Amino acid sequence: MATTPACALVIFGASGDLAQRKLVPGIYGLAKEKLLSEQFMLVGFARHEMTDEQYRDECKAAIEKHARLKPIDAEVLNWLLQRTYYVTAADYGDDQSHKRLQDRLTELDAVHGTGGNRLFYLSTPPAQFEPIIDCLGQHGACSYEKAVRRLLVEKPFGTDLTSARELNAIAHRYFDESQIFRIDHFLGKETVQNLMVMRFANAIFEPIWNYKYIDHVQITVAESLGVGTRGGYYDKSGALRDMVQNHIFQLMALVAMEPPVALDAQSIRDEKVKVYRSIRAMRPVHVDQQTVRGQYTGGVIGTVTTAGYLKEKDVAANSRTETFTAIKLFIDNWRWSGMPFFLRTGKCLSEKVSEVVVRFRSPPLTLFQKQCESPVYPNDLIIRVQPDEGISWRLNGKMPGGSMNIRSVALDFSYKSTFHAEAPEAYERLIADAMTGDQTLFIRADEVEAAWAVIDPIEIAWAASKRGPEPYAPGTWGPESAQKLIELDGRRWHGNGEEPEPIIACSL
């Protein structure tokens, strides 16, 4: 990455969980890698009353606890803290607080030479996005002919198509689309970017990357923990809105899109939008047949006991919010005609894993089945987003010896062991890109709306249904119906324990 240009990064919600766990440590990571300009400053804005010194102490503690690169480099840390400030707000939509913020920014621009360039990062609960944007607009902070002004918005961007359109309209009141950066931190992950490299920088994949050779695609984003302290937010959202509309759809779009004409933001995002627009719309009957929702009950995962979703803090005792969903989708275009995509996500599942599994069709003749003691499994291409980012090819190989025994073997590529380095934190890459003005890894207005247009009919059908989510025990792979969803098709989820782990034939 190139060094970022002069910039004041303003974090709204600076006292929050995300800012402390990811954003401030990520900014330290950029400083440590020498990717921040000398003309950089960080300004926190939130309602907790704090002086600059107190905020610096909070940032220092957050960096010491959460930084990716350890041990902490005292010189870099001091450099960063010397250009860190804080403005206490009466409220996020309070006019006087915003006036103080703008005055402080003008005064500090002169100290740090930031030239009036500003990136406003909205890291508050979504209800605060509109008042903040309105205040920025009314204080003339959104455009300035001599400098660059940008807006970075955290997820969720809306809760349905209508609210996403409204939020887009609010942002467009004051900012041009070229100034708006809607974040999905999955796009900052190395493996997710590597999906495009794998598909378009290797000639072997493109001829077989279609329904003729691929049987189906599975995308899993599984968490082993429950909602923890985020019950209040989660109960209004649920797994479909929280994970499928953004992270899983982004992964699916990168797997399914056509080759872009160039590697610029517009060309890539044009192709992703086409994928969303090609997803077959679900009528209520399809929602019934092609979606599953579940809710975790009380139980034990490893050494952790959970009382169940309905007993979580800030969750309604009669909540019908899903903590698990599995969905079968079709992308009705030339490449994917009739081939299913299976998506699943949930909390309190048997392991924490995010992966894409591209399962190829079996060979046309099952020549080896009769002679083999064990079944011959189809080839899988597994793209692991987390943990241990990498790519694995599952092939079939002959076991040594006189008989024709076939065993699943894997060609494994792991980021860590190949490049002898941890993949950088997604937020580091994304913050740097937003300061630089590169929108490739951010979501465009029409993209976010097209994704909600797919989700809305499912939410509406679920809300109208008499049936609530199916209970599932913590530490499992979700409710029974999730297995049936794929098994009735004659397929099975990857990693459900039925297939033997492959022998690692080659570790790159």
Among 93, 125, 299, 457, binds ligand NAP (CB under 6 A): 125
Q: Does 17 bind ligand NAP (CB under 6 A)?
A: yes
Q: Does 126 bind ligand NAP (CB under 6 A)?
A: yes
How many Å apart are CA 103 and CA 211, to the nearest integer? Answer: 58
Q: Does 25 bind ligand NAP (CB under 6 A)?
A: no
| Complex with ligand NAP: residue 68 or 492, whichever CB lies closer | 68
- Are 303 and 224 a contacting pair, CB within 8 Å? no
Q: Strand 390-398 relative to strand 406-414: parallel, antiparallel, unpaired?
A: antiparallel
Determine the interface stretch with ligand NAP among 121-129, 261-269, 316-324, 385-393 (rule: CB under 6 A): 121-129
| Complex with ligand NAP: residue 46 or 77, whichever CB lies closer | 46
- Are 372 and 401 a contacting pair, CB within 8 Å? no
Site for ligand NAP (CB under 6 A): how many residues? 18
Per DSSP, the residues of 145-172 read TTB-EEEEEPSP--SSHHHHHHHHHHHH
- Are 23 and 42 a contacting pair, CB within 8 Å? no
**Any idea how long the chain is?**
508
Determine the interface stretch with ligand NAP among 12-20, 195-203, 331-339, 399-407 (rule: CB under 6 A): 12-20
Beta bridge partners of 118: 8, 149
Q: Does 170 bind ligand NAP (CB under 6 A)?
A: no
Among 83, 104, 118, 155, binds ligand NAP (CB under 6 A): 155
How many Å apart are CA 42 and CA 40, to the nearest integer? Answer: 7
| Complex with ligand NAP: residue 83 or 155, whichever CB lies closer | 155
Report in angstroms how near the CB of residue 45 gets to ligand NAP at its nearest.
8
Q: Does 115 bind ligand NAP (CB under 6 A)?
A: no
Rg (CA), the chain: 24
Report in angstroms how near the CB of residue 177 gets to ligand NAP at its nearest.
20
Determine the interface stretch with ligand NAP among 10-18, 133-141, 282-290, 462-470 (rule: CB under 6 A): 10-18
Q: Does 13 bind ligand NAP (CB under 6 A)?
A: yes
DSSP state of 95: H
Per DSSP, the residues of 431-482 read HHHHHHT--TTSB-HHHHHHHHHHHHHHHHHHHH-S--PEEE-TTBSS-HHH
Q: Does 15 bind ligand NAP (CB under 6 A)?
A: yes
- Nearest Cα neighbor of 315 from 394, 229, 427 is 229
Among 97, 114, 124, 291, binds ligand NAP (CB under 6 A): 124
The number of C-alpha atoms within 13 Å of 351 and in the hemisphere containing its C-beta is 10
How many Å apart are CA 171 and CA 408, to the nearest integer? Answer: 51
| Complex with ligand NAP: residue 16 or 25, whichever CB lies closer | 16
Estimate to the nearest angstrom the gap between the alpha carbon of 207 and the chain centroid.
28
Selecting among 48, 247, 286, 494, the annotated active-site residue is 247
Q: Does 135 bind ligand NAP (CB under 6 A)?
A: no
Where in 464-493 is the site for ligand NAP (CB under 6 A)?
Answer: none
How many Å apart are CA 171 and CA 130, to the nearest integer? Answer: 8
Q: Does 128 bind ligand NAP (CB under 6 A)?
A: yes
How many Å apart are CA 381 and CA 361, to the nearest integer? Answer: 12
Q: Is 112 a catalytic residue?
A: no
Residues 6 or more apart whose CB falls under 8 angstroms from that of 290 comprise 282, 327, 328, 329, 485
Among 123, 250, 291, 325, binds ligand NAP (CB under 6 A): 123
| Complex with ligand NAP: residue 88 or 291, whichever CB lies closer | 88
Phi, psi of 411 (to 5 degrees): -100, 115
| Complex with ligand NAP: residue 241 or 494, whichever CB lies closer | 241
Estimate to the nearest angstrom the gap between the alpha carbon of 172 and the chain centroid.
24
- Nearest Cα neighbor of 219 from 356, 122, 397, 84 is 356
| Complex with ligand NAP: residue 118 or 247, whichever CB lies closer | 247
Where in 41-100 is the site for ligand NAP (CB under 6 A)?
Answer: 46-48, 92
Report in angstroms how near the CB of residue 188 gets to ligand NAP at its nearest.
12
Name the amino acid, one letter, at 429. Answer: R
| Complex with ligand NAP: residue 50 or 292, whichever CB lies closer | 50
CB-nearest residue to ligand NAP = 16
Among 5, 18, 64, 411, binds ligand NAP (CB under 6 A): 18
DSSP state of 144: B
Determine the interface stretch with ligand NAP among 148-156, 390-398, 432-440, 443-451 (rule: CB under 6 A): 148-156
Determine the interface stretch with ligand NAP among 154-162, 214-222, 282-290, 298-306 (rule: CB under 6 A): 154-162
* Contacting positions for ligand NAP (CB under 6 A): 13, 15-19, 46-48, 92, 123-126, 128, 154-156
Residues designated catalytic? 247
